[in-house]
Amino acid sequence: MDAATITLTPSAARRVAFIAEKQGKPAALRLAVEGGGCSGFQYRFGLAEGVEADDVISETDGVKLVVDSVSLDLVAGCVVDFVESMGGSMFKVENPQAVAGCGCGSSFAV
């Protein structure tokens, strides 16, 4: 699968750049999928310390979205956005493969 299968929105790219600058780290967000959560799988976000050989990278406005090859199978085609609302702000994954999700938005099933 190529990098076009995952997308970081400009809003999310701005937020990653802001967080990375505050922490003095490269502007790269790692998206991983772990077992657990209310629906079977959950998303895990963090600044990418480095890039592994099997990682897939998508770039928006100079900010990278890094996904490992195992997680990519579960998030191929996804869009990672950053949303702010009265309830708070968060990274949100729009995953076309998810057949079910939970109210918190961080857990899904395929």
Boundaries of domain holding 83: 3-109
- CA–CA distance, 30 with 49 (Å, rounded to integer): 9
Report helix, strand or coil for 52: coil
Task: Please say whether the beta carbons of 41 and 35 come within 8 A.
Answer: yes
What's the distance, Cα to Cα, between the start and end of the chain in Å?
18
Report the number of distinct structural domains present in the chain. Answer: 1
In the predicted model, what is the mean pLDDT of residues 7-15?
96
Judging by beta carbons within 10 Å of its beta carbon (0-12, 13-18, 19+), is residue 76 exposed, middle or buried? middle
What's the whole-number average pLDDT of the chain? 86
Q: Does residue 110 surpass a pLDDT of 60?
A: no
Q: Over the stretch 23-77, which tens digit does the pLDDT of each residue have?
A: 999 999 999 998 876 667 888 999 998 899 999 999 999 999 999 999 998 899 9
Query: The domain that contains 80 carries what CATH number?
Result: 2.60.300.12
Greater confidence, 8 or 96?
8
- pLDDT value, residue 1: 44
Q: Does residue 101 surpass a pLDDT of 70?
A: no
